[in-house]
Every structure is written in structure tokens, then in C-alpha cells.
Structure 1
């Protein structure tokens, strides 16, 4: 954590808008002192783009995805021993979660700078309002990740120098969430629902409202969770998209009508040009066979893909799909294009499917965007909030819509009790969002993480043996406590 002047070199090395790609693209610039910056509309836009620039690194590398995907009931790590899955992490050896802490606070520091400097800049008023709203949303997003990961964490919203930051104590999780809600509520009043095509990928009013509803779920404030999710529905800005098309790079799925906020990556397959890439897909796709032409016996039509075969669906997930659910063939795979796989990482376990693949990638380099928020999540959030208020029939409306539009399950569920609807929502969330940065956080807020991990003992025996309720949170890395002893006490269990 550094002083704001030191961080400006990061901000102005951020992303500029590219007219040819309708995306946020990198354009490194040299260091400029803060007092010499934030003087024009273009400079302020560039500075905000710098906060966005950290998202591909955070979401596109294993630091974050391992911490949320592993150690649940729907996905297992098959690449060897791993502390996230087996619940063997310690404060001294916290694994990849240290980088999540560091990356989130780097983004928060930059967002604080933007909110204050752009807020005081002599630029177009409407643009100023929007840019500050974007920075508020991004700050809230990173605090949301931090408190879901660590619980109580330091919170600051001002430009602070390193001496002050290095002494801040941890704020209670409830206070962190209060700040998140304040930021998102303000952002929702300052952001538009949409942007011109050349500015695709920026935070919107819908993104702020949808995340606000999720935060109220964490607080078990069902009425407000319903209120803000309903506002997203009533905006009529979003609709459910064919489930297979959501993840099909050939259909140019990026930034579709179901997408509310996604992490933007860029790769030009035609010219084999990598601009901003991720290797997320490599953890889900079968490893290339020794002949360097096939993957688990299947010809994907290319020889440049890289598979680590690190992630595999649990049998519990496979068995959640009902007969005829179209999402199953997209999510898990025993074959591709009529060719059956000839081997699997674990007996009787299929591979993960085309939802995760990028057959236009080159080696580790994928330009496939990653969803952080999509409309199906809003509908299931709304259903959960309504069901918890005994509005079971209303909740079933949204559940049935997701099941029909995404799963092709056109026979509606009706006449079931509230507790049965609760179980149905939890199953639907598992099916819909596996691999989308949701499951561990869902299990933690429901208080069902221990039972979920124990339910897949055959797939994860070490994790099932070690799991404890307190392991819903990660340890604050010892390295951070050494720098700031006021971060004590350590999270329970570590």
C-alpha cells in the first residue's frame, strides 16, 4: 500500500477505449504527478480505466478462482494436493489468497484516489458524476471480494499515506458491508444503464443494483435484497440468453443481453494477437494427448490448446441435473462433436464442458470474457429473498423462468413448501453458476459449507476430514500482520 502519488503511475498505465474493439484496451503512459493530472475529461477517463485494468489480473489468474471454486460440493481439484480444497492453509502459508488481498487493496487505493481527484476536477459535470460512480462500484466490488474472503478487513475511503494505512485495524464484516452498500447505492444513482458501443464493459446502474441485492442477502435483509433485485428486473435492460450461447466464443457471446458485468479480455484469433488474456479455460479442458493432436482422444480441430486437467465436476454436481436439462451438456462433457472421450481424470467423472472451453485460444492465451454478474443471478437472488419472506409462489416464478429458459425444463415446479423451494434454489445456483465465482460464498452465507464438503467425501476425503465452519473464511496472511500488527486478532481456526 503506497501513497497516492506513487500509485498514479499505475493508474495512468491503465486502459483506453478502443474504437475498433468496443473494449477497454491497455495503453501504457509515463508517470505524471497527481497535481498535474485530472485536468481534462480525457485524463479523468484514463484514470478510471486504470482501476478497471486490475480486474483481468485478479479474475484471470488462479489467485481468486482457486479460493472460491475449490473446496465445495460441485468442483474438485485434480492437479495434486492443494490447501484450498483440503483446508490445510495456514496464516504462515496462506496460498494464493495473499495475492487476492494485495490486488484488491491496490484497486481500492486507486479507486479512492479517483473518487477524490475526479470528484474535485474541473471537468464536464455529467462525466464527473458518471466516473465517480464507476469508481464507487469498483471499490465496492473489491471490498465485497475481501469481506467474503476474510470477514473483517480494514476499510478506508480517503486518500491515505502509507503510514496511516499501515496502522488501520480491521472493521467488522457488518461495517465493511455497510460501506459497500453506501458505495453501491450512490453509484446506482450516478451510473447509466448502458453505454455507447465504444464504451462497452463499464460499470452500469444495473451492476450496482444487482450487487447491492447480493450484499443484502449476506445481511439476511430479505426485503432490501428483493427491492434491489426487483429494480433490476423492472429496468427491462436484461434478458436470459440461450445457455449454450452464453459461453460460445463462436457466437460472439461477449457483453450479451444477460451479462450485467463481465471481466473483459481480448485476443484476435485471426492474427494470433494477445492483448489481454487469461488461462482460466486451461484448468477445465482435458490435457493434450502424447500425439499433440487430440485431447483425451478427441480432435478439437486445433493443436495449440493447453489443458492442465486441474478441475473436474463432482458426481454430486453431475447428479443434480434433471433428465432433459439442457445445461448439462454445456456444463459437463463425455464427448465433443460426436467424438467420445477415451479417458477421464477420475473414473466415472466426465470432464467439464464447453461452458469453460475456449477453442479459439492459443496455448495459455484465451480472450474469453469471465462473467461476474449475469441476469440469472438476479432472478435467483430475487427468488431467494422472496422465499425467505414466505412469498413462495412468487419465488417459483423466477426459478421456473431460469429452469425453462436455460434448462429447457418447461414443466413448472408448483405447490411445494418453503423449505423445498430453499433446496431447489440452492441446487439451481449450483447448476447455473459452477465455475462463476459463486459456490463457496453461497455455501458460507447459507451456513452449509461443512455439510456440503462432507457430502462429497468420496471426491474430497481430506477436505471432508478437515473442514470446519470457521474455514468459510481465509486467514489474514502473516506477512500482512507483520506489516500491520493492528490486523490482529487472526481469524478463528488459524
Structure 2
């Protein structure tokens, strides 16, 4: 069954009021007009507040649509649109006031404010049982660390607070160094790891576990090149957690049964549901990866013939076009192409010859023909869902996989190689490749530099279109070179526009207009002035 996505709790801080309704994890209605003075009096109320933090992740500016994907997936060498849209992002035309991420900034700071407010009222609260208090504090710390993970990745130095500021303080707050923020978040995550359970079951599936907190902490260490700490956290997950690599790569992304969408490789997901009773508990991100029937198949306007070469006729006796016949075959198996085509593989990634011979991940990741028909564009099979019974346009139940086990092994391999060279790093990357190839094609005999460079592609093929690629290229210092050298489609020209400043976004113009103090520590606004 679907879980967190059924939470209909929206939390607002205007006047420090909490109000809305809730229909999961707890089957009770949340009252309106409740202030912090008369809330957080029992375990149920604390859990309702925490549920609201998960609900914020469902916003279009975060995980529900393309909010975070614009910063993590687009603008690299993996994903672009099937037509001339999203050009500000992919073509590096964003600037102050132009696709500067204001919606995402705003929603992340709503999460930061709510997390700080709730932590103040839950941590040490003797009205709560110890077990409920520990879990709530652990989840709040995780959510706040996830928030600042995104903020520091996208904007670098940002406004930072650990206790909820007053409105006056918020209007004059300045930016804090990214290093300071991340150091605090690592400490918070270390505490969260001690408070959170190792697993959940039933309707609690999807909550942050100690392993999700460990994974996020490892990510912070990875981005800060703290290799030993990164390796230690990854080994903790590998050696002690219930998570494992699935035997079949394609199974990791199998979301076809809305009642069975979790598996042992998932460490943290954002849980969505298509049930209309739960409002925006669904996701529209799947539509970005689904094709448009107006594009497909290739040679779509030609007259349709069947496998014997006979014309395919409509009921009125006129001949079908290829697209009509193709669509009728899709519909016969309860499928259709009703998406946006906003996120399709770039040409180089889509070509099988650019993958290593025998890489089984290709067919599970890329689709260039379907039910015997050649497609005009390639698509990400791992992220699409054409099912017209369980996954309709604008109302999809697919979970967003934020962290999974294969990433842990690849981080461990990279960290070990940076620390000591490849000898002990092979065991981690080869565990991932063992599943990817039949027969197995393990790495061996590399220098440290050769291993490092090979990891650039290994992470791309394993994790493409999962929200890691652009930040990987940034932390390796190769974003500009890659964007300038990869093949783009005719309507995109990022190679002509990308500059060193583009590794960060500018602080949104609307925020600066409200609070000019955001420019005190950097009058150039990350180089955009």
C-alpha cells in the first residue's frame, strides 16, 4: 500500500499556525487553527507535525515534478527535452530573475523553517514518550539536513538558522558559509543515526531510517572530499543495513504495482500515490519521462500496414496512419503515450555502442523501439510508465528514488580509490558490475587515475536520470568540459553559454529585493552581477 504520500498535512508558518488535514500515517483528522502553545502535547501530535515535513517533499518545486531535477539532472550530459522547452535550464541562460529557482528556494526554506520550529517543540518535550520523541527528532534532523543538502548544492553559501528566526530577523539575515552549514548537518545526522530505527513496516514504509541518515551523511562527506568519513558511512550501510543490491537491475525501478513499490535496494524514496482522495499526493514527474503520442512512432504519418503488408483500416474503411495503428496496439494492452517528452536521453547516452559490450543496464535504462516499432526519440525505460489503469497522465503513483544501494557501493569505491588506490576499491565497484554484465566483467589492473576516470562513466550508466549526474560533474570539476563536448540536439546550445559561474545558481532576485543583506558577503551574487 502507499504510505507517506497519503499525508494531507500542509504546514504553514504564517503567524506560527499549523493547520490542515491528515489521512496517514495516522488515521485521524488534524484540527485547524492550532498554535505551538497548545500543540505537541502527545505522541500523535508530534507525529502529525513530522508527517507535514514529508508532505512538503511532494511539492512541484521539489520532488513531485521537475523542481529538483532541473538542478540535478538537466544541464549535464544525460537528459534534455524532446523539443525546444526548458531552454533556460539546459542552455545555461538562467540569471537573477530568470529561472533562478525561486520556487525551489522558497519551498526548501519552508522545510527549513518548519523543521527548526518542530525541533524546538519536540526535542526534550516531556509530554512525549521517549521512543516517539527520539524518532520524531531523528526524522526532523534528517529532513532539515536534506533541505540544507539541496540549498548548499544549488546556491553554495545560503541563509542558515538552527532556531526559527523572527520575521524581522529573516528580513535581514545574511548568507552563512557552506562549510559551516555542512559541518553542522553532519553532526545532526550523526545524532539522527542514533535515534532512528533501522527499518519500518506496513504504513510506516517510506519514513527516514538510520540508514537514510547514514546515506545522506555519506553524501555530505563525498561532496566535501572527506574520503575516510565517506567510506566509513558507506561500509556501515553495506555491512550492517538490511539493504542489498537486487539481482536484476530492472527490478530496482519496477513501479508497476502501486501496492508493491518498495524493495531492498531503496534506502530513501519520496512516496507518491495516485489516489484522488489524497490531493497532490501523486507525481507528474513520470509525465516528463513518458513520450507524447504526437511524436511517436518514427515515420508516424505514413499509411499503416500490418505484418503481412495489408493496409490497416479504420471502421469507416479509411486507412490508418502509423501513429493511429501504433496507438491502437498500445491501447490493446492498456497503455498509451500521454506524457510531455520533457526528459529524454541525449543522443550519446541513447546509443548502445557508447555502452560497454554486454552491459545489461542498457535495455533496462534506454528504449528506442517499443512493441516492434522504432521510436522517433529514445526514452528512459527506468523512469517511464505507460500503464493507463494505474498510472494516468497527471496522476502517477511512482515513488521518487532518492537514495539506493548501488550508489553506496560506487561511493565506497570512489572513496577507497582516493584514499588508497584501486586495490581495495575493486570489491565495491565490481559488486555493482556483477549485476550489470553476464558474463561478469570486473575491473582490475588500473592505476588510481584510470580508476578515477572510469568511475565517471560507471556512475553515469548506473545512475543516469536519477538526480545525481550534474552534481557529480560539478564535484569532479568537469561540468564545463562535459557540457561543451557532449552531443546536444539542434534546439539546444549549452556549450555556447556555460561559464564557470554556472556551477552555482544566483540567489533568487525576489529574495534579494526583500532582503538586500543577502548580498553583504558576496555582492556579485555567485558571479551573476
* TM value normalised by structure 1: 0.90
Give the counterpart of 1:48 among 40, 46, 50: 50
Match of 1:385 in 2: 415
Give the counterpart of 2:265 among 225, 239, 258: 258
Match of 1:364 in 2: 394
TM-superposed CA distance for 1:355, in Å, is: 3.6
Residue by residue over 1:295-320, the C-alpha shift from the partner in whole angstroms, topping out at 9 and shown as x without a partner, is 78962633665211122212332354
The whole-number CA distance in structure 2 between the counterparts of 1:314 and 1:483 is: 39
Structure 1 residue 6 corresponds to structure 2 residue 15: yes
Match of 1:65 in 2: 69
Structure 1 residue 477 corresponds to structure 2 residue 508: yes
Does the residue aligned with 1:203 lie in a helix, a strand or coil?
A: coil
Does the residue aligned with 1:209 lie in a helix, a strand or coil?
A: helix
The whole-number CA distance in structure 2 between the counterparts of 1:176 and 1:223 is: 20
TM-superposed CA distance for 1:493, in Å, is: 3.6
Residue by residue over 1:39-85, the C-alpha shift from the partner in whole angstroms, topping out at 9 and shown as x without a partner, is 01111111110111111112012222122211101112233141110
Contact 1:192–1:205 (Cα < 8 Å) also in 2: yes
Match of 1:212 in 2: 217
Match of 1:80 in 2: 84
Contact 2:256–2:385 (Cα < 8 Å) also in 1: no
Match of 1:456 in 2: 486
Does the residue aligned with 1:53 lie in a helix, a strand or coil?
A: helix
The whole-number CA distance in structure 2 between the counterparts of 1:208 and 1:185 is: 8
Aligned residue runs from structure 1 range 145-184, under 5 A: 145-184=150-189
Structure 1 residues 458 and 61 mapped into 2: Cα distance closer, same or farther (>3 Å)? closer
Does the residue aligned with 1:392 lie in a helix, a strand or coil?
A: coil
Contact 1:274–1:365 (Cα < 8 Å) also in 2: no
Aligned residue runs from structure 1 range 393-432, under 5 A: 393-408=423-438, 410-432=440-462
Aligned residue runs from structure 1 range 220-259, under 5 A: 220-241=225-246, 242-250=248-256, 254-259=261-266
Residue by residue over 1:332-375, the C-alpha shift from the partner in whole angstroms, topping out at 9 and shown as x without a partner, is 11223x4223x414xxxx22224433523112211000100111
Structure 1 residues 390 and 159 mapped into 2: Cα distance closer, same or farther (>3 Å)? same
Q: Please tell me the root mean square deviation across aligned C-alpha atoms, in Å.
A: 2.5
The whole-number CA distance in structure 1 between the counterparts of 2:458 and 2:29 is: 41
Match of 1:23 in 2: none
TM-superposed CA distance for 1:466, in Å, is: 0.9
TM-superposed CA distance for 1:408, in Å, is: 4.2
Aligned residue runs from structure 1 range 118-137, under 5 A: 118-121=122-125, 122-137=127-142
Match of 1:326 in 2: 360
The whole-number CA distance in structure 2 between the counterparts of 1:64 and 1:212 is: 19
Structure 1 residue 317 corresponds to structure 2 residue 322: no
Residue by residue over 1:439-494, the C-alpha shift from the partner in whole angstroms, topping out at 9 and shown as x without a partner, is 11111111110011012144375201111122011111110001111111311145
Contact 1:266–1:274 (Cα < 8 Å) also in 2: no
Q: Which structure's CA Rg is the greater one?
A: 2
Structure 1 residues 86 and 182 mapped into 2: Cα distance closer, same or farther (>3 Å)? same
Match of 2:314 in 1: none
Contact 1:358–1:366 (Cα < 8 Å) also in 2: no
TM-superposed CA distance for 1:221, in Å, is: 0.9
TM-superposed CA distance for 1:168, in Å, is: 1.1
The whole-number CA distance in structure 2 between the counterparts of 1:298 and 1:169 is: 58
Structure 1 residues 457 and 305 mapped into 2: Cα distance closer, same or farther (>3 Å)? closer
The whole-number CA distance in structure 2 between the counterparts of 1:442 and 1:299 is: 37
Match of 1:492 in 2: 527
Structure 1 residue 287 corresponds to structure 2 residue 292: yes
Give the counterpart of 1:442 among 451, 472, 483: 472
Does the residue aligned with 2:440 lie in a helix, a strand or coil?
A: coil
Segments of structure 2 that go 5 or more residues without pairing to the other structure are 1-10, 296-320
TM-superposed CA distance for 1:6, in Å, is: 3.1
The whole-number CA distance in structure 2 between the counterparts of 1:76 and 1:275 is: 26
Match of 2:301 in 1: none
Give the counterpart of 1:17 among 12, 22, 25: 25
Structure 1 residue 339 corresponds to structure 2 residue 347: no
Structure 1 residues 458 and 80 mapped into 2: Cα distance closer, same or farther (>3 Å)? closer
* TM value normalised by structure 2: 0.84
The whole-number CA distance in structure 1 between the counterparts of 2:147 and 2:349 is: 29
Does the residue aligned with 1:67 lie in a helix, a strand or coil?
A: helix
Does the residue aligned with 2:344 lie in a helix, a strand or coil?
A: strand
Give the counterpart of 1:100 among 97, 104, 121: 104
TM-superposed CA distance for 1:31, in Å, is: 2.1
Structure 1 residues 158 and 14 mapped into 2: Cα distance closer, same or farther (>3 Å)? farther
- Give the stretch that moved more between structures: 381-390 or 457-466: 457-466
Structure 1 residues 467 and 296 mapped into 2: Cα distance closer, same or farther (>3 Å)? farther
Match of 2:38 in 1: 36
Contact 1:305–1:362 (Cα < 8 Å) also in 2: no
